[in-house]
Structure 1
Amino acid sequence: MFSLRARIVAGLLAVAAYGLLALAVALSLPQGAVPQGPLSFQQDGERLRAGDGQGGALTMEPFTVTAFEVAGQRLPASPWLAVEEPDVLPDYAAMERLFRDHQRLYQALRDGTLTVLGDGGQRLPVTALERGLTDLPALFWLQLLCGLAGMVICLLVWIPGQREVAIHAFALTGLSYVLFSSAAAIYSTRALFIPGDLFALLSGLNHVGALLFSASLGAFLWNYPRRAPSTVLTAAFYGAFLVAVVIDQGRWTASPVSGFHLWVMGIFLVGLAGAGWQWWRTRGQPMERAALRWVVISIVAGTAFFAGGMILPAITQSAQPASQGLLFTTFLLMYSGMALGVVRYRLFDLERWWFSLWAWLLGGLLVMLTDLVLAMLLSLSGPATLSLSLALVGWCYFPLRQYVWGKLFARREPGLDAWLARALPAMLRARHERLDDSGVEDALRAVFRPLSLDREPVNREPGSRTGAACALADNGAALRVPDPAGDRLHVLRHSQEGTRLFTRQDVDIAGLVLALHELVNQSQTARAEGASEERNRIRQDIHDDLGAKLLHLLHASDEEYRPLVRDAIRDLRDLLQNMEGRSVGLDAAATQWREETGRRCEDHGVELRWHQTLPAVTLDADQYSELTRIVREAVSNALRHARSSILEVSLTSEQDRIVIVIVNDGLQESGQGAGGRGLMIMANRARKLGGECQYGSEGDRWRVRLHAPLVRYSS
């Protein structure tokens, strides 16, 4: 198969070839010329007027044409000869008569036997004059380029899109749009003279395109964003299209109203009912309903003007239809809305490159139209008009367009400095406040500000890869980010508080957040290794110097001071063990606490009641050191500041947290209170562990309760 780029290029070349074909047909139509210069014709109420083809630059005054002399025969000059759209005539018979009269005029012009008769006695022989590019009116270019632009937009949806009914139907609207707009561009801007058979062919092509447009639009509305309830319904739209074409081209009814206009309007209204069905089906689905709302608004905005200005007046015969060529341009509103919907709601699951290419094409069209309008408004010489129009476009149009675009559509995506300024503080704050947290979730919240962030377990299947990558989900409504621990996924929904969808750029940013987490881990690991080396050096110095002196002091001291020296040696041993940075099992730590507390209670004549139910977990050096000091301080307060007879210590766990409760009696006799410096130190140590230390009196008993996390997160 061909690559995506090759298919897009082939599609664009096909559209360009069709445009050149339409241009060649338009240039093949001659215009009439009299000895004074080119001759133009226009409908003026119930009269056919003829005048100078150059807008009055020559001396010939406009006059009313009463008849044409064709090969010696007189042909009445009906004003309908210059009608822009033949299907506004009252019946098919009038249309056929119009085509036959045009065939006679065209043949006489080519044979050199055509004469124009005026109401003032004018008798002007008319000769054929070939048209050049500059002779084609602006309305021709406008209709042709709008149709080609619509076809390009639909191609860029259809080629990379999924093979679904809605995609095919939308692509067919673009094909039908270019068919009826290009056909009308040729015959509606003719210089009166056109072969009758070509006129009939182009008019039929216009009808086929309009009917196909209504049928495809109806099929699209019934299949987007949800599939139609039955494939028969979709087939019915194209069946109605075929029936309408047969009735219209076979002239099975009396007038175009019943054979064409009513079919176009009826098929469109049935299709529009599909929007109501889709609205009901998408209840509870905010993303699908938002996309549907955008689609319906775009379609109504693009078709309402044509239906109100052309179809309805032709059906009711109550008013003169508006200029068909100008109304055709309003269909671009629909395709423009679809283009913006691709950016905002990712309609058809297309990427932003599609919108960029479309914006480039339509942007060039707008520049050309702006130049064309300025050239028409400026009554200067050719070079002066061109220079002034280019200056106005460069100095006024482009800055104004960029300003409006920036205000309405441009996205201000955060750069590297912006998301880094959000992610890094949030990650570090989370790791500091919650020891078991990687901080990735807080960083993702800070960067993307999602409406919701959920955790999903990672389903491991046999043979599957252990790693996972960041990825979009639900057509950009969600972003899935693997946690560094590898056991869960963070699922973010509705970026920037629901104002936009996630994009490929967000996937890259999420990957950078994970890379930032890895960098923070490496930084902290390096810092820990450096601190460990420094602690080992200091520990060795203390052990060699202070330890030796304390041992010497122990042997040289009197018997009454030796217990104090032994306590100092024990504290030094605990300090050196903490500086060594070795982890300790919780059971082993509890055993040490019990032995030390029991020895101290025995020295003070206090009964110790010890209870423990602990899980098999490991404390790191910091946790062990802080918990040891808290227990030691609480026991010291009970033994020094109260006349306690019983000391109760309870060690349990609750939801991965250790709970230590120390209770002593004798409070009323001693006046033990909560304002001591030791209590404040215990509370600070508990907060350092991410826990809390509570204390207070219960009758004549004093109670200290500590709870802190058991597991510290480590990558």
Structure 2
Amino acid sequence: MFDRIQAPIPLMLSGAVASLILVAFATYIACQTPWLGLDLSYDESQQLPQIEVVHSPASNLHLQVGDHLTSMSVENSTDAVSLKGFRLHVEPPSHANYAEHNALLKREEEVASLLKHEKVWVTTEAGNTTELTVLPERPIATLGYEFWLFNLFGLIAWNVSLAVWAIRPRETAARLLCASGAGFFFATLFNSIYLSREIALAQDLFLVFTRANHLGLAIMLFSLLALMAYYPRRISRPSPAIYLIPLFIFYQANETFQWIEWPLHTYYLPVLLLYLAGIVVAVYQWRMSAEVPLDRAALKWMLVSIFIIMGLGLAIYFLPLVLFGEAAFPQWAMVGTASLLYIGFAFGIVRYRLFDVDRWWLAIWAWFLAGLAIVVVDFALISIINIHPSAALAIAVIAVGWIYFPLRQIAWEKLHPDAPDPDDLLTSQVERIVQAMPPQRTDHSWMRLLIDAYKPANTNISSQKTESVSLHDNGAVMVVPLLLTVGAVHLTLPNHGRRLFSLKDRKHTEGLLVIAKRILAAHEGERIAVQQERERIVRDLHDNVGGHLLTLLRRAPSKEFEQPAHKALKALRESMRILDGNPLQDLTVCLQDMKAEVEEKLIDTNIALSWRQSLNDDSLEITMRQAININHILSEAVNNAVEHADSNHIQIRFEIDDKGLALTIVNDGATRINPETKLMRGRGLNNMSVRTTELGGHFEFSIENGFATMLSAVPLNSR
């Protein structure tokens, strides 16, 4: 782990240092441009440059903030250069066609040629002419905030993309991302130079900077398009580079040699077309990733990062320029929005391991930024405040420790807000495991616990035999063994698809699995002990009580004594069967025995029996407990009809439906009992209701027009 973190650090540090050197070089170039000591803006209403700030040179004291400059000239010149309509800080490619583009460069050259002299004369709208000294270089403090913002945005894109490539140097996707970040950095670097010009640049220099800027922009856009064509799957058997490289070369050559002038906007229409091409490629990728959850999740995040952010950049800058000739927002806002693309990739790496970058990517950045922060603070203390190097280093370490590390911890918590804390969940999860031990709901409760803990986007069960928890597809899937049956639970993308499973998740689940298996083992030992005790009781009942009842039954002097002994022996055998493990009974056979008992009870009466059973399935089974309770309910109902009513006919129906088994008994002659009195709720009816409730069913009894109706409906899956 230590070696893996350390390995990319030198490359990242080298890239950061190289980029800072280039920014320093751009700063030097920007400061070497001629300077009049003015900060100017363009007044749209007057169509003239307007003074915003007058700096310290004495020759500028005749100019005031708010003055409009109408022309500029040099000594011994017969013609002054008009500044009417001379827009400041405009980049040539923002013009819609080559003619306007070239005209801007030509006019910039006219003004820039004046700045090659030591003195120039500027005329204000009031008619005042002032002599200005042309300084060969400008102070760094006058470059303006846009210069620094452009380079900050470029540094963000470059260093994020470089970090991905440093970790996965052989991955095509990582290389393309790094190329796009490099293109973005060079585009902002050269853009910052000519955008921060005071008035004008020489045509040749201006053209070099704008070409370099658009080359960087093209590298960024084509690299992102190639990235979508290669990641997460290559969209075509021939390499997409076969199509993209010639297209890139033609795109650049056409801008340089001005072959074809595109409609609407010859410079920015291709940018819109590349965006549409990206949508087509994204549709291909979306279809290819339909059956691959990790690819689909990574693709979702990447497409959101690219299309929403790039679409926002198009909306606030490129589209208004193409359609209306003016941008809706300043260029720095568009560049800042585009830099969010790389920040989005950084979040995608944390959440979904984009480009196969592991989660320790954050640890690398933590190491890198901590070291960089100490170096920067140390350098600032030595160079700006002139503190002794040894003291400066100590102060830098303390400052970084007090500021950087707390901020890093806060950022880490913000990046992982949904990750479960095993320590907080452990107590409740162990309690749920203990409660889930009845065998018929153990695996269901185990799966429910995992779903509640990780909130996966998808869950399914397979017959895969596994003994341990494992991660697959770079953490997109976690496979967890079931507890009692052979199989495993497959959890896909936790937190509703917003992150991947981590090693911490796997270790936590392994701990829960160990606890669950130990609890199962303890319950199994308890079950065996209970079963052994049951078997001992059954033996004692059989050998002692059963033997005495058989002796009493054989020696009974008459039927009057024989019948109670027979019933007692039957009840004993039923109890012994329940204690013997609650075996299943064939429902059809049980009903046949029940019918025989009812017929035997009615032999000495004049009551007719109508027996009907609609089972639809002769293989149905019920537990011994169900069979005993149903038989007692039936026997009690028949006794009531014989003893408490003047019945001539009893109807008994057994029916099966989706809800279970329904027993309905109807007898006539129920005229002795007033339905309004509470006498009808005697012990017999209460026993029938209790037995029905014990089986998880519902019980009803009513008397109407001399007919008593009893319904006992019980679910057959009740245990």
Normalised TM-score (structure 1): 0.63
2:156 alignment partner, one of 117, 140, 146:
146
Answer yes or no: is the 8 Å Cα contact 1:589–1:624 preserved in 2.
yes
Q: Is the 8 A contact 1:302 1:332 kept in 2?
A: no
1:395 aligned partner: 402
For the structure 1 residues 574 and 489, does the alpha-carbon distance in structure 2 shift closer, same or farther, using more than 3 Å as the test? same
1:166-207 deviation per Cα after TM superposition (whole angstroms, max 9, x unaligned) = x87645412423444577899999xxxxxx999998876554
Counterpart of 1:594 in structure 2 is 595
Cα deviation for residue 415 of structure 1 reads 1.6
Check conservation: 1:302, 1:334, Cα contact below 8 A.
no
Query: Residues 143 and 328 of structure 1 are in contact (CA less than 8 Å); yes or no, is this contact kept in structure 2?
Result: yes
> CA 1:687/1:409 → structure 2, altered by over 3 Å: closer, same or farther?
same
Classify the secondary structure of the residue corresponding to 2:681: coil
1:221/1:272 contact within 8 Å kept: no
Specify the SS of the correspondent of 2:661.
Answer: strand
Tell me, in whole angstroms, the C-alpha distance in 1 between the residues paired with 2:13 and 2:683.
87
Q: How does 1:41-440 map to 2 (within 5 A)?
A: 44-45=37-38, 145-146=155-156, 148-155=158-165, 170-180=177-187, 205-217=212-224, 241-249=248-256, 265-273=268-276, 292-299=303-310, 331-343=338-350, 346=352, 348=354, 353=359, 356=362, 359-360=365-366, 363-364=369-370, 367=373, 371=377, 380-383=385-388, 391-400=398-407, 402-403=409-410, 406-407=413-414, 410-415=417-422, 418=425, 421=428, 425=432, 428=435, 438-440=444-446
Cα offset, 1:334, TM superposition: 1.9
Instruction: State the identity %.
Output: 20
Q: CA deviation at 1:212?
A: 1.6
- In 2: Cα distance, 1:506 partner to 1:30 partner: 48
Residue 671 of structure 2: SS of its match in structure 1?
A: helix
| Contact persistence 1:649–1:662 (CA under 8 A) | yes
Q: State the 1:336 CA deviation.
A: 0.7
Cα deviation 1:268-318 (Å, max 9, x = unaligned)? 3334456777999989x998778644543444677889979xx989x9899
**Cα separation, 1, equivalents of 2:518 and 2:697:** 28
Q: 1:676 to 1:494 in 2, by over 3 A?
A: farther
Q: Distance in 2 between matches of 1:513 and 1:643?
A: 65
Q: Does 1:696 align with 2:694?
A: no
Q: Which residue of 2 aligns with 1:538?
A: 537
Instruction: Note if contact 2:154-2:184 (Cα within 8 Å) is conserved in structure 1.
Output: no
| Structure 2: 5+ residue stretches without partners | 41-56, 61-88, 95-101, 122-135, 137-146, 197-202, 291-295
Shift in Å at residue 685 of structure 1? 3.4
Q: CA separation in 2, counterparts of 1:178 and 1:594?
A: 91
Shift in Å at residue 684 of structure 1? 3.7
Question: Residues 641 and 667 of structure 2 are in contact (CA less than 8 Å); yes or no, is this contact kept in structure 1?
Answer: yes
Partner AA of 2:538 in structure 1 = R
CA deviation digits over 1:59-80, x for unaligned, max 9? xx9999xxxxxxxxxxxxxxxx
- RMSD of the alignment, in Å? 6.8
Instruction: Find 2:660's aligned residue among 648, 657, 670.
Output: 657
Paired residue secondary structure (2:385): coil
Cα distance in 2, alignment partners of residues 682 and 600 from structure 1: 19
CA deviation digits over 1:317-346, x for unaligned, max 9?
A: 999x9998x9977654221122224455x4
Tell me by how many angstroms 1:149 deviates. 0.7
Separation (CA, whole Å) in 1 of partners of 2:379 and 2:417: 27
Q: Which residue of 2 aligns with 1:564?
A: 564
Change (3 A) 1:239 1:225: same
Per the alignment, residue 526 of structure 2 pairs with 527
Contact 2:23 2:189 in 1 (8 A): no
Distance 1:140 1:328, change over 3 A: closer
Whether contact under 8 Å (1:339, 1:355) holds in the other structure is: no
CA–CA distance in 2 between the matches of 1:635 and 1:509?
60
Q: Cα gap change, 1:502/1:421 in structure 2, threshold over 3 Å: closer, same or farther? A: farther
Decide whether the 8 Å contact of 1:340 with 1:355 is kept in 2: no
In structure 2, distance between residues paired with 1:437 and 1:648: 44
Q: CA deviation at 1:367?
A: 4.0
Give the residue type in structure 1 aligned to 2:691. Answer: R
Task: Give me the TM-score of the superposition, normalised by structure 2.
Answer: 0.62
| Conserved? CA contact 1:15–1:151, under 8 Å | no
- Is residue 302–residue 331 contact of structure 1 (8 Å, CA) maintained in 2? yes
- Paired with 1:527 and 1:502, the residues of 2 have a C-alpha distance of 39
Task: Determine whether 1:682 maps to 2:682.
Answer: no
- Please give the secondary structure, in 1, of the residue aligned with 2:618: coil
